[in-house]
Amino acid sequence: MNRRAFIMLIGGAAAWPLGTRAQQPGKVPQVGLLDPGVSHLFEAFRQGMRDLGYFEARNISYVYRSAQGRAEGVDRLASELVALNVDVIMTAGNGPVHAVKEATSRIPTVFVIGDAVASDVVTNFAHPGGNLTGLSFLNRELSSKRLELLRETLPKLHRVAVLWDQSVPRSFVQVTEEAARQLGLEVQLLAVPGADAFDDAFEAAVRERAEALNVLSSANFNAHRVRLAQLAARYRLPTMYESGEYVRDGGLMAYGPSLPDLFRRAASYVDKILRGAKPADLPVEQPTKFEFLVNLKAAKALGLDIPDRLLSLTDEVIE
């Protein structure tokens, strides 16, 4: 091969799809997807992979396991992916991430989770160590803002119920309780082990005269977001949620990171790992895109007038 041909070959390699260059000859990488029940977000991850040049049946293969919004059985699903010896595991939510952490210390794992340090997933954001890394949104920094927006919507708000998924660290709740106290709000904590307890929790909120509801971040809750929005409407509780998906599915308002954006960004971690990077050397990143959404149809059903100032701050209004 002459020098000119060699240079052209190297130059052409730089233009190959990233996924094509990542795979070993004759081997299509396998990515295990452990979904707590948020398939729309895992589709955002797969789109991120396509954007990086990875296409199913060509240069990437997915092994999919879904908990379908149930906490039970997640350990078994994680063990199945480990037994299949996939190249990378991608998962989200406190329960699934811990299930994978317990199941393997060898297979690289990418996560999307709340506070990864408070959740005891990694010990350090900059140097996660071990076989796990990914994206983490610091719920503690958002708790106060959510309550402020809720109180601005309801100026006479005095008592707020807080819906908490018991699989999520208690520290998340403590931060919200502290933020509420600083705003002069009373808190009614509604701890639920799973979706079967939702109705009882809403009944307790109404019985104890809660004037609004704050739904804390949880992959399990997100998997049941339509039902939670329906219950909030039925019990006439103005409700603040963690992300825009709830509002697009009928909830009143949400403030937090764009979860689809986080899942798309998770693809870049998988790409780097397939190229040879070690999870221990990939810092855990934070959200860069936040959203405030309001559903005016839900507000009207509750008899609420959303202040013009709040509407001017929204990223999206659902009419």
Partners of residue 174 on adjacent β-strands: none
Residue 68 CA neighbour count, 13 Å, CB half: 1
Q: What is the arithmetic mean of pLDDT over 135-146?
A: 83
The pLDDT, as a whole number, for residue 287 is 94
Contact 189/173 with Cβ under 8 angstroms? yes
**240/305 same-domain check:** yes
pLDDT band at residue 142 under the 50/70/90 scheme: confident
Dist CA 227 CA 111 (whole Å) = 25
The pLDDT, as a whole number, for residue 1 is 42
Distance in Å from the first CA to the final CA of the chain? 65
Task: Indicate the DSSP class of residue 217.
Answer: P
Mean of the per-residue pLDDT values of the chain: 91
**143/70 same-domain check:** no
**77/189 same-domain check:** no
Residue 315 CA neighbour count, 13 Å, CB half: 15
Q: What is the pTM of this model?
A: 0.87
* Residue 12, domain member (yes or no): no
Residue-wise pLDDT for 243-300, tens only, equals: 999 999 999 999 999 999 999 999 999 999 999 999 999 999 999 999 999 999 999 9
Measuring CA to CA, which residue among 154, 176, 178 is closest to residue 252? 154
The pLDDT, as a whole number, for residue 2 is 43
Q: What is the arithmetic mean of pLDDT over 195-215?
A: 97
**32/129 same-domain check:** yes
* Residue 13, domain member (yes or no): no
The percentage of residues in the chain with a pLDDT greater than 70, rounded to a whole number, is 91
Q: What is the arithmetic mean of pLDDT over 79-101?
A: 97
The percentage of residues in the chain with a pLDDT greater than 90, rounded to a whole number, is 81
pLDDT band at residue 25 under the 50/70/90 scheme: low
Output b/e per residue, 42-54; b: 16+ Cβ within 10 A: bebbbebbeebbb
Residue 146 has pLDDT above 60, yes or no: yes
* Residue 172, domain member (yes or no): yes
Q: Residue 305, SS3?
A: coil
The pLDDT, as a whole number, for residue 139 is 63
Question: How many structural domains are present in the chain?
Answer: 2
The pLDDT, as a whole number, for residue 167 is 85
**69/147 same-domain check:** no
pLDDT band at residue 18 under the 50/70/90 scheme: very low
Q: Where are the beta strands (DSSP E) in 144-202?
A: 159-165, 186-192
pLDDT band at residue 140 under the 50/70/90 scheme: low
Dist CA 126 CA 179 (whole Å) = 27
* Residue 6, domain member (yes or no): no
User: Residue 36 sits in which domain range?
Assistant: 18-138+259-288
Residue 3 has pLDDT above 90, yes or no: no
Helix 74-83 with 94-103: angle, nearest 10 deg: 40
Q: What is the arithmetic mean of pLDDT over 226-245?
A: 97
Dist CA 277 CA 131 (whole Å) = 11
The pLDDT, as a whole number, for residue 292 is 97
* Residue 7, domain member (yes or no): no
**84/203 same-domain check:** no
